[in-house]
Amino acid sequence: MATPPSPERKANLRLINAQADKIRAKLDPKVLERAKVVADGGEIYDKAAAQKVVGEFLRSKTRKDGGLFHEELKARLKGTTH
């Protein structure tokens, strides 16, 4: 049978938990959620960053199709849920 934790240990755990709560309260909820996803082995998908990259690609000066690719992509994505 395991021995019960000492009063010192209980006090230290309460102190650590209180400090962790203060740190969590200061964190941006989005940052905390992202950290949880990563800790669980997941991958972060940043929709805004992805949209920016695709937008830059579609507006790129190297595209010489007069916007046809952009329009075709928009047409194909209509009705698609993300």
d(CA 39, CA 33): 10
DSSP one-letter string for 8-38? HHHHHHHHHHHHHHHHHHHS-HHHHHHHHHH
Instruction: Specify the amino acid at residue 56.
Output: E
pLDDT at 11: 96
pTM attached to this predicted model: 0.40
pLDDT at 81: 58
Q: Across the 82 residues of the chain, what is the mean pLDDT of every consecutive 10-residue run?
A: 88 96 90 86 81 81 76 78 56
pLDDT at 22: 95
Give the domain ranges of the chain.
7-39, 47-77
pLDDT at 1: 67
DSSP structural state of residue 40: T
Which residue reads 């400090």 in tokens?
A: 19
